[in-house]
Structure 1
Amino acid sequence: MIPIAGPDRVCYHPRPQQPVQFAQGAPTMARRRSRPGNGFGVMSLGLLTLVAIGWLGWRGGWWPVDVAPAATNPALSDTPLEESRRAAELDTQVVLPNQFEPPITPPLPVPRVVAGSESSFPTATAANWRPTGSRPTEQQLATVASSPVQPAGKPRIEPVTAGLDPAGPRTLAEIDTLIANGDLVVAHKALSWIYFQQPAERSKISERIERTAGAVFFSPRPHILPAHTIQPGDSLAAIAPRYKIGWQYLAALNHVSPRKIRSGQTLKVVRGPFRVIVDLSEFSLVVRTRSEYVRRFEIGIGRDHSTPLGRFRVLRKVPDPQYTDPDGRVIPAAVPENPLGRFWIDLGEGYGIHGTNQPESVGRAESRGCLRLRNDDIRLLYGMLVTGCEVVIHR
């Protein structure tokens, strides 16, 4: 109490409350409340450390780079339905936009191209083919002039004019020397020149060109372009469109699984897109680049000249297609009764390239107009082509 003096008395006033005790107690209470906060900070720091380690591992290529989530149930992931779903999802990423052209329906009758007549390919004679000896003269190497007027509906297949050896075509003896020395890339270019410029000589070089094509386009070595180095976050489905090829073909070319690629790994790549030349008179489908032979497949064609002639584009690719026959009966996908097989390459207007459940029909004219391949062949072709690839059909 505090005494207060008045005029005639002394009174006492209550002493005001002092905040000293509260000030002294405040730090103690603050210290007690800060203990849970310190534990949370340690936990946050640990989580941040784990995240940083994971990020550094991903950037450094310590973790595998997957094209799709890893299979958690192999029994289910290996079923045809799951395989077709995964293939369809990946195919949607391999698209060349604004590359479509409507098919050309030629007027009937279409003149048949026979040996010795005007053809899409330059003809070869004994005068301009010299398998041994000195090089041909410039006159013998002159490109056969094409007709200035192309009949309606008759596709023109351009002869090889780019990517040739500056020294000109080589003799078979020179090509054999190149092959023996392991220079398969140059040897294949020379053989491709003969294949497209001198078709009469194809039988003489068939064994050689299949060997060199297998090394150049279906083997991890030798490289024909600088190797592609996989970057963090890459997948085959993302890499393949940069070169305009299918991711399935890229995987087969390098003998790798799309789920087991790593950052820093190198891949052999080739420049696409591939072109397809179909010769109905020979029941053949030839895959080529701009200047080089890639692969030849035997095909089945339409009966009664029902396969259309012209220049087409691959409009879409469908794994495990469903089939509806002319009577409206629906045959589900991936069953032995389905005449389309496991793959459909759509050319438009109801025509396409597909597999078959009748392999004996390949090499014959028995389809309703589509092109049939054996099932192993259509699987390979399906992986090579992408949406927008050119397909030329001629007779």
Structure 2
Amino acid sequence: MNWSKGWSIGIAAVVVGLTTLGVGYWAGRRTPTASAPTTVAPPAAPTATVRPQPVAPAVSAPPAAPALTTVEQAIAREEWVEARQLCQQLLQEHPESPAAAQAQQRLGDINVQLLFHPSSAPGAPFYKGYTIESGDTLGRIARRSKTTVELLQKANRLAGEKILVGHALKVPTVAFSVVVDKSQNTLTLKADEEVVKTYGVSTGKDNQTPVGTFTIVNKLVDPPWYTAQGVIPPGSPENILGTRWLGFSKPGYGIHGTTDPGAIGQSVTAGCVRMRNAEVEELYALLPMGTDVTIVD
């Protein structure tokens, strides 16, 4: 082999290899192609926030007001049982409503109406039917039922005390009691445990009205007033007892009417409980002898 020729071939091969490597190297290092510039949209102009103008709230009636209107409508129709149920519902659902106090007052008036003029409507309270038997008198029926002859007469529209065997009477099923709250100057009439009506009263100045539970032991219509200066007759402007007296088991104390209705709600008496005359007359007709009266501070 000709060595000079061999070296020439070898050198040529090396040159070719290096040339190949160079081409590959520069192929790997391509010149980057200039890309088109990215178009960035300018920021959108801020949208102006449109704030709604405040709207004055509509003035609406309290939730209990429509219910109270419904009560008044039932009263106007003389649907007393319905009116009573509506009042009770209003007081249960809206006890803190401004209408609640008015509903409570209405309920008291409705209850008294139903006591003096019982309803035959379904759900009517306070009464049951009774058939008069031989030997019955209004007085005996009243004592057995723990009520008064006057209430039996009013409830059954009787002009007198004459009754006939076999005839039907409405007779109360409830027992009454009274709670006097000296701090509030109120008297609450209850039938069993249900509040019938709450009345404003006057109690003793300087805490003179005694506390405790007493019973009614005597009752007088148009009572005279016995004073150290003598007896002041019924009807006299100076007779502070008014038209009714319900005496307690504690002597010298009781519930009575007044000649000064403007003082109701104040602690101004010598120890008795004063009521407006029309209201003490209501109470007088309802409460029999032996009724409990509880007085609290």
Q: TM-score, normalised by structure 2?
A: 0.62
Aligned letter for 1:274? F
* Distance of aligned partners of 1:256 and 1:308 in 2 relative to their CA distance in 1, 3 Å threshold: same
Is 1:271 the equivalent of 2:173?
Answer: yes
State the alpha-carbon separation in 1 of the partners of residues 90 and 212 from structure 2.
24
Contact 2:105 2:197 in 1 (8 A): no
Q: Deviations over 1:98-138 (max 9, x none)?
A: xxxxxxxxxxxxxxxxxxxxxxxxxxxxxxxxx89xxxxxx
Is 1:330 the equivalent of 2:230?
Answer: yes
The structure 1 residue matched to 2:191, chosen from 248, 269, 289, is 289
Contact 2:128 2:172 in 1 (8 A): no
SS at match of 1:315: strand
Contact 1:323 1:339 in 2 (8 A): yes
Is 1:299 the equivalent of 2:201?
Answer: yes
Aligned letter for 2:186? S
Aligned letter for 2:88? L
* Distance of aligned partners of 1:200 and 1:286 in 2 relative to their CA distance in 1, 3 Å threshold: farther
Residues 213-228 of structure 1 aligned to structure 2 (within 5 Å)? 213-222=111-120, 223-224=124-125, 225-228=127-130
Contact 2:83 2:110 in 1 (8 A): no
Flag the structure with more relative contact order, 1 or 2, with Cα contacts below 8 A and sequence separation at least 6: 1
Aligned letter for 2:167? Q
Q: Deviations over 1:234-279 (max 9, x none)?
A: 3322211111011112212233222454333322222242011112
Match of 1:340 in 2: 241
Greater percentage in strand? 2
Count of aligned residue pairs for this structure pair: 224
Aligned letter for 2:240? P
Aligned Cα root-mean-square deviation (Å): 3.7
Match of 2:182 in 1: 280
Match of 2:283 in 1: 381
Contact 1:189 1:292 in 2 (8 A): no
SS at match of 2:179: strand
State the alpha-carbon separation in 2 of the partners of residues 235 and 210 from structure 1.
30
Match of 2:107 in 1: 209
Contact 2:258 2:275 in 1 (8 A): yes
Contact 2:131 2:169 in 1 (8 A): yes
State the alpha-carbon separation in 1 of the partners of residues 180 and 279 from structure 2.
15
Match of 1:363 in 2: 265
State the alpha-carbon separation in 2 of the partners of residues 385 and 361 from structure 1.
24
Aligned letter for 2:119? R
Which consecutive unaligned segments of at least 5 residues does structure 1 have?
1-130, 133-171
Q: Which has the larger radius of gyration?
A: 2
* Distance of aligned partners of 1:240 and 1:384 in 2 relative to their CA distance in 1, 3 Å threshold: same
Match of 1:239 in 2: 141
Kindly state the Cα deviation for residue 233 of structure 1 after the two structures are TM-superposed.
Answer: 4.3
Is 1:314 the equivalent of 2:212?
Answer: no
> 4+ residue runs of structure 1 moved beyond 4 angstroms?
185-190, 192-195, 198-202
Contact 2:132 2:165 in 1 (8 A): yes
Q: Deviations over 1:210-253 (max 9, x none)?
A: 35414532313135443122234433222111110111122122
* Distance of aligned partners of 1:355 and 1:287 in 2 relative to their CA distance in 1, 3 Å threshold: same
Aligned letter for 1:352? G
Percent identity between the aligned chains?
29
Kindly state the Cα deviation for residue 190 of structure 1 after the two structures are TM-superposed.
Answer: 8.1
